[in-house]
Amino acid sequence: MDSRVKVAGHPLHQILIVFPLGLLGTAVIFDIIHLATANPRWAEISYWMIAAGVIGGLVAAPPGLIDWLAIPSRTRAKVVGGWHAVNMVLVLALFAVSWYLRLDTPTAPSITALVLSFCGLALASVGGWLGGELVARLGVGVDHGAHLNAPSSLSDRPASAVSDGRPSVEGV
């Protein structure tokens, strides 16, 4: 199933989700470093990464919703996509609450704030797997006719066209 929202021939949701996942995951790593070193600077960095990750997740959500709405009803992809969406909304909520709890003291997060972000990362792993299932197993966001010698998405040719297999400068 082809994506409904694309940039330069690629699904926008798949492009955008790497930012919030990376930011939120790294925020947890920095929280762990903070706990290990007692250096408040790491907690403050985590605070700002969570803010950026939640904003990034909110930006990535609408293209994902548009693509999910285009999935035919009564398909496994629709169900998996629904679970993926619910899971990722919960991830954003956990991190948003963790961020809120840090507002007054970003350099000294409470245990509750830390637990929420750690749980958020665990759920993000599940949500990421569900997103991968949608793309890699169910073909959501994959061009019709995609194959190993498909022409570049920057060309005007459909994915089903056959390339000669040689790398080219035009359209890579």
In the prediction, which pLDDT does 123 show?
98
Lowest mean pLDDT among 6-10, 31-35, 69-73, 112-116: 6-10
**Ramachandran quadrant class, 139 (left: phi over 0; alpha: psi -120 to 50; beta: rest):** left
- How far apart CA 90 and CA 97 sit, in angstroms, is 11
- How far apart CA 155 and CA 172 sit, in angstroms, is 9
Query: Is a pLDDT exceeding 70 seen at residue 51?
Result: yes
Q: What is the pLDDT of residues 87-105, one digit of tens each?
A: 999 999 999 999 999 999 9
Query: Is a pLDDT exceeding 90 seen at residue 29?
Result: yes
Q: What is the pLDDT of residues 145-169, one digit of tens each?
A: 888 888 888 888 888 888 666 655 5
In the prediction, which pLDDT does 167 show?
59
> Mean pLDDT throughout 13-35?
97
Confidence of residue 17 (pLDDT cuts 50, 70, 90): very high
> Mean pLDDT throughout 100-121?
98
Query: Is a pLDDT exceeding 90 seen at residue 111?
Result: yes
